Structure 1
Amino acid sequence: MSDSPRTILVVEDDNIVRMLIVDVLEELEYTVLEAADAAEALAVLNNADQTIDLMMTDLGLPDMNGKDLANRAREIRPDIPVLFASGYADSVDVPEGMHNIGKPFSIDQLRDKVKGILGN
């Protein structure tokens, strides 16, 4: 296990929300990849040279819902952990190996959630 930073793919169609999430994760010394929609996310996921340790996605994306995206992501990368962000997190039925965080979330909540998933 190397000490290189873990890489997180953030999929969020709201530019401001995405920027905030990216800023928080970068401050925590993660490498962050960004996608504004599912199509962009799938392009990143399909790049076999790109390491991705976690995909964090909004449930409501313009071109596909986050669950469908997660299922597609798992077809490409069977072991990828997925973190859903949603304003309705309590009512989200999360598949095994996937996690959720309710919006709005605090920086501390996001940090704890990501560290809990990645185990570092």
Structure 2
Amino acid sequence: MHPLLVVEDDGIVRMLMVEVLEDLGYKVIEAADATSALAILNDPATPLDLLMTDVGLPDMSGQELAGKAREIRPLLPVLFASGYADSLSVPEGMHSIGKPFSIDQLRDKVVQMIGPADSTQA
């Protein structure tokens, strides 16, 4: 099982992303802001295989959150979701997906980054 952390401040968008990822077989933990996400990231008992974050969060940018996440979990893959993905500056080793995205686009990006939900990570 690949646990994913989805950080999105828009409740409806977050609910849809979580639903799609769960339907694809992933276990999803959700957070509405960076502060909540950092509490999850700082809990060593919570395994995570991917951080998927909106770029525009109310308490800090998605890039700032990703930087802090990498300080805590240096190898954690990061996927930014943004309506401005084409102009988004993505740090090396991180990925982005443009909003709006299709279920297939989301699935393909997540599978590319961490593998299918039914596989085990090496």
SS in 1 for 2:63: helix
Aligned-pair identity in percent equals 68
Aligned to 1:89: 85
Structure 1 ranges of 4+ moved more than 2 A: none
Q: Do residues 101 (structure 1) and 77 (structure 2) align?
A: no
Unaligned runs of 5+ in 1: none
Aligned to 2:33: 37
- Kindly tell me the number of residue pairs found equivalent between the two proteins: 116
Paired residue type of 2:4: I
**C-alpha RMSD over aligned residues:** 0.5
Aligned to 1:21, which of 14, 17, 20? 17
TM-score in terms of structure 1 length: 0.95
Unaligned runs of 5+ in 2: 117-122
Aligned to 1:8, which of 4, 19, 24? 4
CA–CA distance in 2 between the matches of 1:96 and 1:46?
A: 23
Aligned to 2:68, which of 62, 68, 72? 72
Q: Which has the higher contact order (CA 8 A, sep 6+)?
A: 2
Q: C-alpha offsets along residues 78-109 of structure 1, whole Å, 9 cap, x if unaligned?
A: 00000000000000111111000000000100
